[in-house]
Amino acid sequence: MSDPILAEQTYAQIGEVIYQANNYTLIFINKADNLDKNVYQQMINIFFNIYPKLVIRFNHNAPKEVTFIVDPSSDGIAYTTNATVFYNPVWFEQNPEDVDVVTHEIMHVVQSYIGNAPGWLTEGIADYVRYKYGVNNMKAGWSLPKFESSQNYTDGYRVTARFLLWLERKDYIGIVENLDGALQNKFYNHELWDIITGKNVDQLWNGYASESNLMT
């Protein structure tokens, strides 16, 4: 899609705008009077450039219409409910390079897990996606942490993401898709790791702990 034309103001316009391209729709509702115009533009671009790739790889049935709401009353940094992502503009004001918060959150839309999906794995997969598909991680100072003995695979987010990346590089090709598919279809359990890899998750973590610092 061509980039939407914005007025020459410093901040993005307040209100609702609907963007459409290639059968995807983004409803962007901005309630913040200080959302940087460039951040706004990058959020739109990430949706239309990255979200379709995630749909193709992980969930062909993911919603084709997604809503972004930038709201000063939002808690934390960002959170996703169904096909709506809420963003706190204070975070972007303080961290204008950290636009791949969007990459992480749109993966939650794709995931659409129902039931008791483990939070650590849900967030680990989303940060794995941020690492693989992020457009500005380096400038944002965001990276996967090196292994430390205090870590565990259940830490979630970047710790779990690096574990998943190591597994993928250890020739467990498709492990992230397999885990994600099981979570989407409500048949994930702890034994699934053994079915996929021939080892339980604790054995895999021990292997990661012994080799992880060889990762580049």
Q: Residue 4: its pLDDT value, please?
A: 52
124, HSE (Cβ side, Cα atoms, 13 Å): 26
Where do the domains of the chain lie? 15-111, 119-214
The superfamily (CATH) of domain 15-111 is Neutral Protease Domain 2 (1.10.390.10)
Integer CA distances (angstroms), 64 to 25, 110, 142, 214, in order: 6, 10, 28, 40
Q: Give 215 or 211, the one with higher predicted confidence.
A: 211
Condensed to tens digits (0 to 9), the pLDDT of residues 91-148 reads 999 999 999 999 999 999 999 998 889 999 999 999 999 999 999 999 999 999 999 9
Condensed to tens digits (0 to 9), the pLDDT of residues 144-185 reads 999 999 999 999 999 999 999 999 999 899 999 999 999 999
Instruction: State pTM to two decimals.
Output: 0.93
